[in-house]
Copies of this chain bind each other. A is one copy, B any other.
Amino acid sequence: MVRDIKTFKFFEVLLIYEMLEVLKALAMMNATRKVVKISSKELAEHIGQSLQTAARKLKELEDEGLIDRTLTKDGQFVVITEKGKQLLYKEYMDYKKIFDDEGTIKIKGEVFSGVGEGRYYVSLEGYRKQFREKLGFDPYPGTLNLRIPKEEMYFRRRLDEERGILIEGFSTEDRTFGEVKAFKCRINGIEGAIVIPKRTHYPAEILEVISPVKLRDKLGLKDGDFVEVEVIL
């Protein structure tokens, strides 16, 4: 019984997708806005399918009330009905949702304790003043260290490819400090930034997050916990 229902759903879904394909092709010819003259042969060529298939699909669309069709001595005229437009509009809204907010990604990472190196660098005024200017906050002196698991590495690698916000290097009397790439982010709603030193040997599976607050305390995190970082690319 369950199997029957699934089989039905299988064909139903395929059918909707097949219908959508032709309906969308007609819509691209402006058939939502005007009556379009098109023979089944022309449609067949347009969608790259056989004449029989094109004719059958037009009939299905008509039977479902998705198009309105008129045959005259001059040929076949097709227009997409309100019901057809609604089906297309649902697709449109789905795609809109997919691409809304498209500039943000989410990466999961496991909290671990560093050796305090982050604290040292973040405290340097040469970086701090740029964090204030370019990120809009004065960071707590310390970083939250995250180890990115294997399956989350896709977006970790993406960060290496993205330009991010450039924090410039600087020199003191003793030494020089290199460039840092930053990405604004949020962890559980708290504002912060990922900082990635642009040096060659920085480990690929590590992310360090700075924030105006001490994230570990504010979010009650301990080593081994996983957190999700929403990164603005």
Contacts and interface: CB of A to CB of B under 8 A. Distances in A.
A223 interface: no
Contact of A105 (B34, B74, B151): B34
A154 interface: yes
A13 B72 CA distance: 31
Interface stretch (A86-94, A115-123, A179-187): A86-94
A137 interface: no
* Copies of this chain, tallied across the complex: 2
B35 A151 contact: yes
A146 B28 CA distance: 27
A59 interface: no
A199 interface: no
Nearest to A156: B35
A225 interface: no
- Report which residue of A70, A97, A98, A105 has the largest number of chain B beta carbons within 10 angstroms of its beta carbon: A98
A211 interface: no
Which 3 residue pairs across A and B have the least CB separation, nearest first? A77-B151, A34-B106, A92-B95
